[in-house]
Amino acid sequence: MPIVTLYLNHQTKSLIVSIVIWFIFMLTTCLLTFLTLNELKRYLDWIIAIHCCCIVSLAFFINPSIVILFVFLTFYLPIYFFNVLSRLILVSYFVSLFAIMLLTCVLFKALIVYVIIIECILIASFIINYKNEEKHVLEQRIQHQEQQINTLLAEQERQRIAQDLHDTLGHVFASIAIKSELAQNLIASQPHQSKVQMEDIQTISKDTLNQVRRIVDHVKWITFESEVERMEQLLLQANVQFKVNGTELLKHCSIQKQTTLAMILREAMNNVIKHSKADCVILSIKEHKRMVEIVIQDNGAMLKDANVTLKSIAERVNTLNGNLKVVTSDSGLKLLIWVQKGELA
């Protein structure tokens, strides 16, 4: 223990001062360890500043090897206080390390190599811990955004199905109720007319059943145009401008192929919101002699590993026997998709 050194050297005044400083140091350590962030938030900056001053003072009264005490803050600050790291906290940490280095150069030259090595390790560890925590926080934010996107898409789909069922079944049940009542009133006096009304009810019921089946099928299959409309609403909420051209060229495609194209578009838009930080996306569809060309372009940040990020899009394009070209640059990301017309029928 460092204070034992002072006792053995019979430095009474330094011993008393060091004991007081050591007590304050241990008190701040306990506060940082056992209190929650909400309990510390108001005084956190000053507690850490005092903690750093105690280490510098101990380095002066004992020797600079005490710099090893910064190990606690090196690992504790980036991990537990990442979101509240203020300028005062960072200044306290790095200025204290610099002060101990300066003290070593002036009064304890024999320890200069030791202090340099320890401080380099501390600073490197602090930066690594900070970067790791920053990455962890970013991953959590992306995961939260993905959950919001999925929730929004699910809510939009729920509203669409509810509206379709309301439009389909609302007037049907009203018609059945009216015709049932009319058939009941006619069954005694005009049985033939009553039979006609019952046959109408049967016809309406069969037609409605077919319509409900089509609605259920549409839950599984998505038209490309409807997906464009949903993505337009989604990007609008994300403050991203969406320019569309040529979607009518895909109306003749089978519903299965449209669903695959819709999934490609959805994945591309999700990447725009999660990774690119773009404020404008352009969807352009052109028809050539034997091919359909689909271009999705944004003005966001360049993807570091586009091939990994866009893997699912590439797989969907392959199911259409199409070709995908990814062009990345400082001006944004461009996806070029070519599909034979025959593959979209």
Is residue 320 within a helix (H) or strand (E), and if so which, with residue range? none
Q: How far is it, in rounded angstroms, from Cα 6 to Cα 18?
A: 9
Each residue of 235-289: pLDDT tens digit?
887 788 999 999 888 888 888 888 889 889 988 888 887 777 788 999 999 998 8
**pLDDT confidence bin for 11, thresholds 50/70/90:** low
The domain 158-219 is placed in CATH, from the list 1.20.5.1930, 1.10.230.10, 2.30.42.10, 3.40.47.10, at 1.20.5.1930
241-247, long-range: CB within 8 Å, 24+ apart, which pairs?
A: 241/279, 241/280, 241/281, 242/281, 242/283, 243/280, 243/281, 243/282, 243/283, 244/283, 245/282, 245/283, 245/284, 245/285, 246/284, 246/285, 246/286, 246/287, 247/283, 247/285
CATH 3.30.565.10 domain residues, the chain: 224-340
Q: What integer best gives the mean pLDDT of the chain? A: 80
pLDDT of residue 306: 59
Q: Does domain 224-340 have CATH number 3.30.565.10?
A: yes
pLDDT of residue 215: 65
pLDDT of residue 239: 82
pLDDT of residue 220: 62
Kindly tell me the burial class for residue 90, based on how many C-beta atoms sit within 10 Å of its own C-beta (0-12, 13-18, 19 or more). middle
CATH 1.20.5.1930 domain residues, the chain: 158-219
Residue 55 has pLDDT above 70, yes or no: yes
Q: How far is it, in rounded angstroms, from Cα 320 to Cα 158?
A: 28
pLDDT of residue 202: 80
Average pLDDT (305-331) is 82
pLDDT of residue 335: 92
The residues that bridge with 296 in the sheet, in sequence order, are: 283, 335
pLDDT of residue 3: 45
What residues contact residue 128 under an 8 Å CB cut-off, 6+ apart?
Answer: none
Each residue of 140-186: pLDDT tens digit?
887 777 677 767 766 776 776 677 666 666 667 767 777 787 778 87
